């Protein structure tokens, strides 16, 4: 396609996955202990979406990639220093909380509002990418909610592969039960795709890409608008680390149905 795609990727920071996270009850609700001090990485599922977007844009002349991120401005700046050399993109930053205790509806509203303000975005050529889950805000509905607010009704969840034909049509492999794929044919954009793992490796660092991204990263961070979240309807009475418990019993010749019933009764109890 000579016109290319306008690919908007939803992705933000999460605490480094090797860190031990301890929930605490803060003055405004639940939070993570020393959250601002924790090292941050790009959300793994969002990373897959970003790499897929950059790969598609590189193969399709005239395409452009935007990364829309909601998180504390200072932490976003640290994150961008680590991923700026991976793939070319233009950052759209929103200054707000990045914890998993924010309401997905409010998060989606902030993200959709920021996307609507992108001046060069052609909504008829837009592909909305994001992760099917998140290591922080794992509501699993953010991409759908943003898509609905933007009027994008062709939505595909837990995708692993996107193929574009010479005519510009899409073939999307979407995970379903039993380790199988639902194969969908789409006429073209706009559509929303929530990525599972994709099939691309992490790109190596490229200093030239980093220099190209730096021209827009700092101005975007300086212009980041604060996200105003209202009072959540969800009330957290307490937050704590799950207790580990292990009970082992070795039995022989027990029917599967009886084993399943015993496990279900143990969970209920």
97-to-73, 100, 169 alpha-carbon distances in Å: 9, 9, 38
pLDDT tier, 106 (very low <50, low <70, confident <90, very high otherwise)? confident
Query: 132 φ, ψ to 5°?
Result: -75, -15
Q: What is the pLDDT of residues 122-156, one digit of tens each?
A: 999 999 999 888 877 667 788 999 999 999 999 99
Note the pLDDT of residue 236. 66
Note the pLDDT of residue 138. 65
Q: Average pLDDT over the chain, rounded to whole?
A: 85
Q: Does residue 76 contact residue 46 with C-beta atoms inside 8 Å? A: no
pLDDT tier, 104 (very low <50, low <70, confident <90, very high otherwise)? confident
Whether the upstream peptide bond of residue 190 has omega within 30° of 0, thus cis, is yes
Token reading at 257:
């149905």
The residues that bridge with 159 in the sheet, in sequence order, are 174, 195
Q: What is the pLDDT of residues 19-73, one digit of tens each?
A: 777 777 767 667 777 777 788 888 888 999 999 999 999 999 999 999 999 888 8
Closest to 93 in 3D by CA, of 82, 80, 106: 80
The H or E element containing residue 56 is: helix 44-59
Note the pLDDT of residue 92. 93
In 10 A of CB 1, how many CB atoms? 16
The residues that bridge with 164 in the sheet, in sequence order, are 170
| 170-175 and 181-186 strand pairing | antiparallel
Note the pLDDT of residue 1. 42
Give Dmax over CA atoms of the chain in angstroms: 67
Q: How far apart are CA 269 and CA 267, in angstroms?
A: 5
List of domains in the chain = 6-226 (3.40.50.620)
The answer to whether the pTM exceeds 0.85 is: no
Calculate ∠ Cα 175-109-176, nearest 5°: 5
Q: 256 by DSSP, 3-state: which? A: helix
- Percent of the residues in the chain that have a pLDDT greater than 70, as a whole number: 92
In 117-251, alpha helices (H) = 142-149, 207-222
């Amino acid at each position: 396609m000579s016109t290319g795609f306008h690919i908007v990727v939803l992705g933000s920071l999460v605490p480094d996955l090797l860190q031990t996270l301890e929930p605490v009850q803060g003055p405004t609700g639940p939070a993570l202990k020393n959250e601002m001090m924790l090292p941050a990485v790009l959300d793994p599922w969002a990373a897959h979406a970003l790499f897929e977007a950059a790969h598609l844009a590189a193969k399709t002349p005239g395409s452009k990639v935007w990364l829309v991120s909601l998180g504390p401005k200072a932490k976003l700046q640290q994150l961008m220093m680590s991923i700026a050399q991976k793939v070319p993109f233009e950052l759209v930053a929103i200054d707000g909380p990045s914890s998993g205790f924010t309401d997905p509806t409010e998060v989606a509203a902030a993200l959709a509002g920021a996307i609507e303000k992108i001046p060069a975005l052609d909504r008829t050529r837009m592909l909305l990418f994001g992760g099917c889950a998140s290591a922080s805000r794992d509501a699993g509905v953010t991409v759908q909610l943003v898509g609905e607010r933007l009027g994008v009704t062709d939505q595909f969840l837990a995708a692993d592969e996107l193929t574009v034909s010479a005519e510009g049509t899409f073939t999307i492999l979407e995970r379903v039960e039993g380790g199988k794929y639902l194969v969908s044919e789409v006429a073209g954009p706009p559509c929303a795709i929530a990525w599972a793992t994709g099939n691309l490796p992490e790109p190596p660092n490229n200093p030239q890409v980093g220099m190209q991204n730096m021209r827009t990263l700092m101005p975007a961070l300086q212009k980041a608008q604060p996200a105003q979240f209202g009072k959540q309807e969800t009330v957290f009475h307490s937050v704590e680390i799950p207790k580990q418990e292990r009970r082992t019993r070795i039995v022989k010749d027990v029917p599967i149905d009886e084993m399943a019933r015993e496990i279900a009764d143990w969970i209920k109890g």
